[in-house]
Amino acid sequence: MVNRLSFRLFALMALALFPLGVIAVYQTDQVLDETENLRLNALFFETTSAARDERELIQQTLGSAEGLAALSILDDAPACREVMREFAESNAHIAFAGYTKMSGMMECSSDSDEVRDFSKLERLQRALNADGPSVYVAALGSVTQQPVLVVNHPVYIDRSLAGVVSLSVPLRMTYQPLTSRRFDHELRFVTFTRDGQVVSASGGRENAEDILPRLIAPQDLNRQVGTTFTGVNGLGEERIYAVASIFQDQVSVIASWPARASAWGGGALSYYVLNLLFPLAIWAAGLAFAWYELRRVVIRHVRDLRSAMRRFALGQRDGFPLRLQNPPEEFAEAERAFNRMAIIIAESEARQDKDLKDKEVLLKEVHHRVKNNLQMIASIMNMQLRSAKTPEAKFMLASLQRRVNGLAMLHRTLYTTPDLLTIEANELLEAVVTDISTMMTVPGIEIERDIDTLPLYPDQAVPLSMLLAEALTNALKYAGADQGEKPSVKVTLKEQDDGRYRLSVTNSKGPVRPQPIPDVETVSGLGTKLMQAFVSQLEGEQQVTDDDTHYALHVVFERKDFEAPS
C-alpha cells in the first residue's frame, strides 16, 4: 500500500499544498492590493481637486463664450464691439474677446475697431471645424501678444454655422490653482489640451517637460484619462501618475507622486517582506520537497522506461531486462510488462532471422541446382551435337545449347548475388555478352559495351537477358564491314528522360563478314520470334533501324516492381 503511486501522490499533495500558507498568501495579497488602491484613489482625488479651480475658470469662460455666441447683435459690428469691450473690461481674467466669421474676418473685438483677417490662421480653422466648443493654447496670442488659453464657442444663425466667439485667458491665471499650499510639496501637476499643448504646470510651463512621463507623448496622455500608472519623468525619477479630465476631454490634468511614497516603491519593502516572508517560505519549502519527491518517485522511472524503449526501438538488445530502482507498484508492473514484451519481440526477431536465412539458403540451392541441371542438359546437347551428321541438325542443336547455357548463366548470377530479390542488369548483361562472344568465337569483331546500373527483379531480368542473347547472336552473325575495316557490335542500356530504359544492339554492315550466314536460320526465323516474345514479356516497344552502314535493334521498356503471382 505504501509503495502505490496514489498513496505517494496523496502524501505529496498534503505536504506541498499547506493550507495555512495558501490562506496567508491570499490574505496578504488582498491587504496589499487594498492599500495600494487606497493610495491610488487618494492620488486621483488630489489630481481632481487640484484641477477644480482651473476647471471652474475654464467652465466660467466657456459659459461666457456661450452667452456671447447667443447674442443677436454679432452681425452689427459697432454694437458687437461695444459689447465685447464692456465684457472684457468687466472680467479681469479675460484678456481679449472677439467674434470671427466663417470667412476668417474679425470685425468685432474688444480691443479696437480694426478689421483683422484670420482666414489663414490654422488655429481658427480647427475651431471652426470643431464639433462644438474647443480649447487650445497659444504661446503668443495673435492680438494679445502674450501666452493665452483660448476658449472658442461656435455661433449659429438660423441653424447654420456663422462663426466663432473666442475668449482669451492669460496663462498666468491658470498657474495660481497649482501653487496652492494645500497640496503636498511632492505633488506635481500639468494641465494640457487634447492635442498635447501644455496649459499650466507646477512651477511654470517650462517645468512641464521635467514633470511629464518620458515614454508617453503629451498628445497621447488623453488616452490615459481616468487611470493611474507608473513611469519615469524627464528628470529620470520613477513616479506614480494619475490623469483626470478638466473639461469634456478638451483639457486634462496629470499629477505625479514619487514612487518611493507608494506601496510600489522602496518605502513599503519592509512591509512586503514582513507580511510575505513566512507564507512564501512555506510555499517554497513545499515546492522544493514536492519537486524532490516527484523526481524520485515518478520522473526518474519514466526517464529510465523511455530510454529503454528508445534503445529497444533502435535495435539495441543489450541492457535487458530493465531494472528500476525501488519503483512504485505501478512502475514495477510497467517494468515487468516491458521486459515480457522485449523477450517476446527478441525471440520473434530471432525466429524471423533464422527463417530468412533458411529461405535464402534454400533459394540459393534451388538456383544452384537449376543451373547444374541446365548445364547438364547443355552438355548432353553438346554430345549430341558432335554426333550430328547434317548441317541443319548441328545448327539447331548449337542454337538450343546456346539458349540453355544462357538460362544456366542467369541462375548462376541469381545464386551468386548477395541480394536474392534483384539482379544488377549491368552485371547480368556483361555476363551475357561475355558468354555469347566466347561461345560463338567470331574473330575480328570488336564488341563495345555501355550499360547503366539497373536493379531488376527476375520477372524482367530473364526476358531481358534472353533478348540480349538472341539480339547479340544475330548481330555477331550478320556483322560486316567494308573492305579494309573491322566489323563492330555495340551493346548499350541507358535511362531516358522519361524514366524508361532503352536497350540497343547495333552491328555494322558490309560485304566483308567474319563467318557465313547459315541458310537454315534464314529460313526458320526462330530468333526473331523469340525476341518478339521477350519484348512482349518486358511490356516494351521494339524499333529497328537499318541503313547502308548499320543495323540496330532498340527496345524501350519500363522498370517494374515485383508482382507476386495471383
**Residue 367: which residues within 8 A CB-CB, separation 6 or more?**
411, 412, 414, 415
Give the single-character DSSP code of 525.
-
Q: How far is CA 426 from CA 35, 413, 489, 543, in A?
A: 90, 12, 17, 22
Q: Give the three-state DSSP class for 103.
A: coil
Single out the residue in 394, 420, 446 at which a domain terminates: 420
The C-alpha cell at 36 is 495600494
- Whether residue 22 lies inside any domain: the answer is no
Q: What sign for the dihedral angle of Cα 116, 119, 120, 123?
A: positive
In this structure, the answer to whether residues 413 and 482 fall within a common structural domain is no
- Whether residue 221 lies inside any domain: the answer is yes
Q: Is 157 exposed, middle or buried (0-12, 13-18, 19+ CB in 10 A)?
A: exposed
In this structure, the answer to whether residues 145 and 190 fall within a common structural domain is no
In this prediction, residue 7 carries a pLDDT of 60
- Whether residue 160 lies inside any domain: the answer is yes
Tell whether omega for the bond before 170 is within 30 degrees of 0, i.e. cis.
no
In this structure, the answer to whether residues 383 and 502 fall within a common structural domain is no
Single out the residue in 129, 154, 170 at which a domain terminates: 170
In this prediction, residue 264 carries a pLDDT of 43
Sort residue 25 into left (φ over 0), alpha (ψ -120 to 50) or beta. Answer: alpha
In this prediction, residue 419 carries a pLDDT of 65
User: Would you mind telling me the total number of residues written for the chain in this entry?
Assistant: 566
Task: Work out how many domains the chain is built from and give that number.
Answer: 4
- CATH code for position 258: 3.30.450.20
In this prediction, residue 332 carries a pLDDT of 85
- CATH code for position 427: 3.30.565.10
Question: Which residue segment(s) compose the domain that 193 sits in?
Answer: 175-266
Rounded CA gap, 467 and 259, in Å?
97
In this prediction, residue 175 carries a pLDDT of 57
Report the predicted TM-score, pTM, of the whole model to 2 decimal places: 0.43
In this prediction, residue 329 carries a pLDDT of 86
In this structure, the answer to whether residues 153 and 198 fall within a common structural domain is no
In this prediction, residue 535 carries a pLDDT of 92
* Total Cβ atoms within 10 A of residue 298: 18
Single out the residue in 116, 147, 170 at which a domain terminates: 170
Q: What is the DSSP string of 344-387?
A: HHHHHHHHHHHHHHHHHHHHHHHHHHHHHHHHHHHHHHHHHHHH
Residue 248 φ then ψ, to 5°: 45, 40
In this structure, the answer to whether residues 126 and 215 fall within a common structural domain is no
In this structure, the answer to whether residues 446 and 393 fall within a common structural domain is no
In this structure, the answer to whether residues 165 and 90 fall within a common structural domain is yes
In this prediction, residue 285 carries a pLDDT of 76
Ordered per-residue pLDDT tens for the chain, 566 residues: 566 554 665 566 656 666 766 776 677 777 767 776 777 777 667 666 666 777 777 788 888 888 888 887 888 888 888 888 888 888 888 888 888 888 888 888 888 888 888 888 877 788 888 778 888 777 677 777 777 788 888 988 888 888 898 888 887 776 555 555 444 567 788 888 777 778 778 777 788 888 889 888 877 887 888 788 888 888 888 888 888 877 666 778 888 878 765 444 444 555 566 566 767 777 677 667 777 777 788 878 888 888 888 888 887 777 678 888 888 888 888 888 888 888 888 888 889 888 888 887 787 788 788 888 888 988 888 888 888 888 778 777 877 877 787 778 777 777 677 666 778 888 888 888 888 887 776 677 888 999 998 888 888 888 998 899 889 888 888 888 888 788 889 999 999 999 899 999 999 988 887 765 555 454 457 778 888 998 999 999 999 999 988 999 999 999 988 665 55
- Whether residue 290 lies inside any domain: the answer is no
- Whether residue 37 lies inside any domain: the answer is no
| CA 114 from centroid of its chain's CA atoms | 70
In this prediction, residue 557 carries a pLDDT of 93
In this structure, the answer to whether residues 128 and 184 fall within a common structural domain is no
Buried b (16+ CB within 10 A) or exposed e, 126-147: ebbebeebbbbbbeebbbbeeb
In this structure, the answer to whether residues 401 and 430 fall within a common structural domain is no
Give the single-character DSSP code of 222.
G
- Whether residue 281 lies inside any domain: the answer is no
First to last CA, the chain: 60
**Residue 433: which residues within 8 A CB-CB, separation 6 or more?**
447, 449, 468, 472, 491
User: Amino acid letter at 364?
Assistant: K
In this structure, the answer to whether residues 154 and 191 fall within a common structural domain is no
In this structure, the answer to whether residues 75 and 111 fall within a common structural domain is yes
In this structure, the answer to whether residues 433 and 560 fall within a common structural domain is yes
- Whether residue 36 lies inside any domain: the answer is no
- Whether residue 467 lies inside any domain: the answer is yes
